[in-house]
Structure 1
Amino acid sequence: MIKFTQQEQQCFVSGRLTQVEVKQLWPKRQELFTASTQVIDLAALEYVDSAGVALLLALVKLTHPGTEDKSPYRQLVNPSEQLMKMIELYDLDAFFGQN
């Protein structure tokens, strides 16, 4: 099960993010965090497949209605060791911070 926990300008993601979860989350992706979220912390994310990586990249640039001109891109931080392997494989270093 995947969980998104908002704390001020950070959103903490925990659990597993696979194709099954992505299919369920995609229609409500704008509700996963607030428009003020600047950092998506992935430290507690146990497992991510390629569909999960695609969702994370979509969340980085996701804008909320009425904030299109004001929403900065979000930063993904604290990727797990398993996710780091995928980041390296797909050459996605620019999207993920090490915080």
Structure 2
Amino acid sequence: MINFNQQEQTCFVSGRLTQVEVKQLWPKRQELFTASTQVIDLAALEYVDSAGVALLLAFVRLSHPSTEEKSGSRQLVNPSEQLVKMIELYDLDAFFSKK
């Protein structure tokens, strides 16, 4: 199970993000964040598979339904230890920050 906790400009993501969750979240992915979300904190993400990594990368580019432009300014920060291994495996350092 995955949880999204919005606090001002940061959304804290916790739980597990696997193909099962991605299938459920994909249709409503644009509704998961507010227009003001600038940072997606991943410190409490326990487990991520490759489908989850792809969804996280999609989150960076998504615009909120109430805005017309893609913000492109969202940051993925504080990847968990397990996610760090995936980042290294897929050479995705440019997309994640250790804040």
Instruction: Please give the range of the TM-score, normalised by the shorter of the 2 chains.
Output: over 0.9
- Runs (5+) with no aligned partner, structure 1: none
Q: Which residue of 2 aligns with 1:17?
A: 17
Measure the CA separation in 2 of the matches of 1:74 and 1:98. 14
TM-score calculated relative to the size of structure 2:
0.95
Give the CA deviation at 1:72.
3.9
Structure 1 counterpart SS, 2:82: helix
The code of the aligned residue for 1:38 comes to: Q
Over aligned residue pairs, what C-alpha RMSD do you find?
A: 1.2
Percent identity, aligned pairs only, is 86
Matched, 1:75 2:69: no
Give the AA of the match of 1:74: R
Distance in 2 (alpha carbons) for counterparts of 1:68 and 1:53: 25
1:65 is aligned to: 65
Deviations 1:61-82 (A, max 9, x none): 0012342336242100000111
Partners of 2:72 and 2:54 in 1: how far apart? 19
Point out where structure 2 has 5 or more consecutive residues left out of the alignment: none
Which position in structure 2 is the counterpart of 1:51? 51
Normalised to the residue count of structure 1, the TM-score between the two structures is 0.95
Write the letter of the residue equivalent to 1:84.
Answer: V
